[in-house]
Amino acid sequence: MKKALLGSVNNVSKHIDKIKVWANSFKKFSDGEVLLCVTNGTEQEHKLLEDMGITVSPYVYEGIETINNVRLHQQIDTLKKQDWDYVLVTDVFDVVF
């Protein structure tokens, strides 16, 4: 059974400590995959996340909508590409398991 945690983030470097808490707390309770939709991330940020065991789904966005609105479309797009049996979609900065 394939399980996963999905979230969205931009400004990875600025929020790396919050991302670590979110991902690591999930990993304490599940062997599922942790995947982040990363908006406008750099190659260095992607590598940092991958080194933490987080799968990156990269997106580039230069529009005027806020990331809070755009992330929902990115998450739907990402979900369509996966074959998970169960997925939990949460905020990254406000959730600890």
Q: What is the pLDDT of residue 31?
A: 95
Domains along the chain with CATH numbers: 3-89 (3.40.50.1100)
Q: Is the pLDDT confidence value at 66 over 90?
A: no
d(CA 72, CA 78): 10
Average pLDDT over residues 2-29: 97
In this predicted structure, what is the pLDDT of residue 35?
Answer: 98
* Mean pLDDT of the residues in the chain: 96
Torsion (CA) 76, 82, 83, 84 in degrees, nearest 10? -70
pLDDT tens profile 36-54: 999 999 999 999 999 999 9
